[in-house]
Amino acid sequence: MDNAAAPGPAPVKKMVPAALLCFFLGTFGAHRFYLNKYGTAILMILTLGGLGIWALIDLVRIIVGSMKDSNGNDLER
């Protein structure tokens, strides 16, 4: 018998924490770290959120529900 633990479902990411992180720390990519999108989060740090434009676009995407986590799952409302 294999005693290795089977991976469970990915934890659900919620919309409100993502939106708050984006609003207050969006230029540093905090919301993308929360969504496990590490590569683009580092790019946001280096560009200061695309000088704020990228962070603003992400905030709108989170609010309207088109932003997904790294596994492609919708954010829970």
In whole angstroms, what is the distance from residue 40 CA to residue 51 CA? 14
- pLDDT of 67 > 90? The answer is yes
In whole angstroms, what is the distance from residue 4 CA to residue 28 CA? 37
More confidently predicted of 68 and 8: 68
What pLDDT is stored for residue 8 in this prediction? 66
Residue entry with tokens 């929360």: 34
Tell me the domain boundaries of the chain. 15-64
Query: Confidence class of residue 9 from pLDDT cuts 50, 70 and 90?
Result: confident
Q: What is the mean pLDDT of residues 27-47?
A: 96
More confidently predicted of 51 and 9: 51
What pLDDT is stored for residue 5 in this prediction? 62
